């Protein structure tokens, strides 16, 4: 009896506000420390945001690839970073937007999980999202702001769309569609690949319920589903119109660039640790439960299939599934996002598992689960330290200052051995580069013809990378490329033998600057890819507008309606206090 009382606090659903407070306690200090700045892609997003901050309605960015269009990458989170940067600067603006994404995930997981499991299990799922290894991995190690921003928006959108399909709630359709539009404006890969993994199980769930309860409504169900799909499709087409135009005219046909997330994780265990063990963490232990419970409970089967497909895709080249299902896209996109989506789809099961374990083992379960989740999150956060994006941390301020003085920025530059510091350098300097980190946006034939990523890391791409570097150096005159900023002496022989001379050094001679004679100042490259003025106008208004509209609609007071609580627990039910988790209450908590 005493034991029963001791877990009374866990018998009722954990209040969402408390979970968000937990998210603040876990991620707040890490973001205040600006830990994501060490990740692979954070500075890439800050670079894009920096451009929006200065040229909101002109998505043509001349600082990389001698000019490229930012309409090739959905802008929403970066535009929010740009907006906030006017108040708190770029770095803190990034952290605020990332934190907002984490809070949205808590809410999204809770609402999404409630479609499948009861409110108490949903609250556990939401709590698990705070300590999710894949989330920590993407935030602190990969720096994938857009992925972590878009997925929560979809998770928040789908319950509304479910309400429309299932209960013909028109207001829910409006909210769901606008949220889906905002999610599309945040990330294209999540839209093109992830949204199906989330949406199809929800549609299947609604279909199963209609089939089971009111078969006569089958036609209406199909019509409502089609209508929702059409409306969402139209909104997504409109909000990303410049993106679709760019994709239509310039599809990604460049030579594929190898990525370790496509490796076989058994044959290459170092990548298995990076892309499987770290993101999943203790969640791996829940996989048998997911298979078991998902198979035994018909209602959970759509979710199980969604998880299973995402799980297999996230394994990269460990199975042939990703190659078979994705085709050419397998060689273009990276696979770690599928792992992220798989873990999100697993969370309702995790919530259910936690609920049952807590009910059965009480505080012992709480202690064990807390340790497992804490370790999972801790290892994923620390992974950025054990496997940093850059082997060597160094400042690029002096390099930027050098480029910005004495008219050096009249010419273009390329760095060698700077790793992903090139984004930070691009933020700080006025000079343009022929290199960059957004491979799908580049159009220079010297770069697209070879299967290599950024020139600054050419050596890691073997022959393809070094050929791309040679090709661009060979055409230095063509692009006004006069400066090479060298951090890695590996490249010195190439520069020496191809006619470059060392002219200066920085940072105690750890960075040398090389120049080529008789290069004319850089001129803008005439490019068909440059968006029209009206595209810039759309790009500067619709994506950010979609998010503002979503906020207005979602936070708009709604009539209270009866709670539709779901319980799929197979354990004997226990007395449960009155649930306090109506959606409106949830949203009021968020806004307060």
Q: Contact positions toward other proteins, by CB under 8 A?
A: 255-260, 262-264, 266-268, 271, 291-292, 294-298, 301, 304, 308, 311-312, 315-321, 323, 330-331, 406-407, 451, 459, 462-463, 466, 470, 473-475, 477-478, 489-499, 501-504, 512, 515-518
Answer yes or no: are the C-beta atoms of 133 and 380 closer than 8 Å. Answer: yes
**Shortest approach of other proteins to residue 115 CB, angstroms?**
20
* Sequence-distant contacts of 258-262: CB under 8 A, at least 24 apart: 258/451, 258/461, 259/334, 259/335, 261/316, 261/334, 261/335, 261/336, 262/316, 262/317, 262/322, 262/330, 262/331, 262/334, 262/335
**Minimum CB distance to other proteins smaller for 365 or for 473:** 473
**Minimum CB distance to other proteins smaller for 27 or for 516:** 516
Find all residues with CB under 8 Å of 335, minimum gap 6, and list them.
Answer: 259, 261, 262, 275, 313, 314, 315, 316, 322
**What backbone torsions phi and psi does residue 560 show, to the nearest 5 degrees?**
-70, 140
**Shortest approach of other proteins to residue 417 CB, angstroms?**
12
**Shortest approach of other proteins to residue 551 CB, angstroms?**
40
* CA gap 409, 483 in Å, rounded: 10
**Minimum CB distance to other proteins smaller for 368 or for 499:** 499
**Minimum CB distance to other proteins smaller for 188 or for 262:** 262
* CA gap 566, 298 in Å, rounded: 13
**Minimum CB distance to other proteins smaller for 517 or for 578:** 517
**Minimum CB distance to other proteins smaller for 144 or for 318:** 318
* CA gap 165, 159 in Å, rounded: 10
**Minimum CB distance to other proteins smaller for 9 or for 407:** 407
* CA gap 141, 124 in Å, rounded: 25
**Shortest approach of other proteins to residue 421 CB, angstroms?**
20
**Shortest approach of other proteins to residue 53 CB, angstroms?**
31
**Minimum CB distance to other proteins smaller for 195 or for 456:** 456
Q: Pairing relation of β-strands 481-486 and 412-416?
A: parallel
Other beta carbons within 10 angstroms of residue 404's beta carbon come to 14
Angle at CA of residue 311, ends 309 and 315, nearest 5°: 115
Find all residues with CB under 8 Å of 39, minimum gap 6, and list them.
Answer: 139, 140, 141, 142, 143, 384, 389
**Shortest approach of other proteins to residue 292 CB, angstroms?**
5
Other beta carbons within 10 angstroms of residue 347's beta carbon come to 31
**Minimum CB distance to other proteins smaller for 11 or for 277:** 277
To the nearest 10 degrees (0 to 180), the angle between helices 145-167 and 76-88 is 120
**Shortest approach of other proteins to residue 200 CB, angstroms?**
17
**Shortest approach of other proteins to residue 74 CB, angstroms?**
24
**Shortest approach of other proteins to residue 586 CB, angstroms?**
32
Exposed, middle or buried by CB within 10 Å (0-12, 13-18, 19+), for 15?
middle
* CA gap 447, 452 in Å, rounded: 8
Q: Pairing relation of β-strands 412-416 and 511-515?
A: unpaired
Q: Can you point out the beta strands (E) in 220-363?
A: none
**Shortest approach of other proteins to residue 171 CB, angstroms?**
36
**Shortest approach of other proteins to residue 259 CB, angstroms?**
7
**Shortest approach of other proteins to residue 525 CB, angstroms?**
15
* CA gap 150, 562 in Å, rounded: 29
**Minimum CB distance to other proteins smaller for 89 or for 489:** 489
**Minimum CB distance to other proteins smaller for 215 or for 509:** 509
* CA gap 270, 336 in Å, rounded: 14
Other beta carbons within 10 angstroms of residue 372's beta carbon come to 16
**Minimum CB distance to other proteins smaller for 327 or for 368:** 327
* CA gap 218, 53 in Å, rounded: 49
**Shortest approach of other proteins to residue 269 CB, angstroms?**
9
Per DSSP, the residues of 171-188 read HHHHHHHHHHHHHHHH-H
**Minimum CB distance to other proteins smaller for 243 or for 330:** 330
């Amino acid at each position: 009896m005493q034991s029963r009382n001791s877990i009374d606090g866990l018998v009722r659903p954990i209040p969402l506000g408390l979970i968000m407070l937990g998210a603040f306690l876990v991620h707040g200090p890490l973001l205040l420390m600006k830990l994501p700045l060490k990740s692979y892609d954070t500075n890439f997003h800050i670079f894009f945001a920096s451009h929006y901050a200065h040229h909101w309605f002109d998505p043509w960015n001349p600082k990389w690839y001698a000019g490229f269009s930012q309409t090739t990458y959905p802008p929403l989170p970066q535009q929010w970073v740009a907006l906030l940067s006017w108040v708190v600067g770029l770095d803190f603006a990034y952290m605020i937007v990332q934190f907002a994404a984490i809070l949205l995930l808590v809410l999204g997981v809770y609402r999404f999980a409630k479609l499948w499991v009861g409110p108490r299990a949903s609250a556990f799922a939401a709590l698990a999202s705070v300590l999710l290894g894949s989330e920590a991995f993407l935030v602190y190690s990969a720096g994938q702001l857009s992925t972590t921003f878009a997925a929560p928006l979809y998770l928040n959108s789908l319950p509304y769309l479910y309400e429309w399909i299932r209960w013909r709630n028109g207001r829910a359709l409006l909210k769901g569609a606008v949220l889906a539009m905002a999610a599309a404006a945040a990330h294209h890969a999540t839209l093109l690949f992830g949204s199906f993994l989330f949406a199809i199980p929800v549609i299947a769930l609604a279909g199963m319920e209609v089939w089971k309860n009111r078969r006569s409504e089958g036609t209406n169900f199909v019509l409502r589903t089609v209508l929702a799909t059409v409306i969402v499709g139209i909104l997504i087409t409109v909000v990303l119109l410049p993106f679709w135009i760019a994709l239509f005219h310039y599809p990604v046909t460049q030579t594929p660039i190898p990525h370790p997330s496509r490796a076989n994780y058994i044959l290459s265990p170092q990548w298995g640790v990076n892309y499987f063990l770290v993101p999943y963490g203790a969640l791996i232990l829940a996989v048998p439960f997911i298979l078991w419970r998902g198979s035994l409970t018909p209602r959970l089967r759509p979710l199980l299939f969604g998880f299973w497909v995402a799980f297999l895709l996230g394994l990269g080249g460990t199975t042939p599934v990703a190659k078979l299902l994705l085709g050419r896209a397998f060689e273009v996109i990276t696979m770690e996002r599928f792992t992220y989506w798989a873990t999100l789809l697993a969370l309702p099961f995790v919530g259910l598992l936690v609920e049952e374990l807590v009910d059965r083992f009480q505080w012992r379960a709480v202690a064990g689960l807390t340790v497992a989740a804490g370790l999972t999150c801790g290892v994923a956060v620390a992974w950025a330290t054990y496997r940093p994006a850059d082997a060597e941390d160094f400042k690029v301020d002096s390099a930027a200052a050098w480029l910005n003085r004495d008219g050096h920025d009249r010419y273009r530059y390329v760095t060698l051995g700077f790793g992903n510091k090139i984004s930070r350098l691009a933020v700080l300097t006025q000079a343009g580069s022929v290199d960059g980190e957004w491979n799908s946006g580049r159009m220079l034939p010297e770069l697209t013809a070879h299967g290599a990523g950024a020139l600054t890391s050419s050596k890691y791409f073997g022959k393809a990378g070094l050929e791309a570097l040679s090709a661009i150096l060979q055409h230095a005159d063509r692009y006004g490329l006069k400066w090479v900023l060298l951090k890695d002496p590996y490249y010195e022989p190439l520069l020496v033998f191809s006619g470059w001379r060392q002219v200066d050094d920085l940072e105690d001679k750890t960075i040398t600057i090389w120049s080529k004679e008789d290069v004319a100042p850089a001129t803008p490259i005439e490019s068909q890819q440059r968006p029209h003025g009206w595209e810039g106008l759309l790009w500067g208004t619709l994506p950010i507008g979609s998010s503002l509209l979503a906020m207005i609609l979602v936070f708009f007071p709604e009539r209270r309606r009866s709670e539709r609580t779901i319980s799929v627990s197979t354990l004997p039910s226990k007395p449960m206090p009155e649930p306090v988790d109506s959606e409106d209450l949830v949203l009021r908590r968020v806004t307060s």
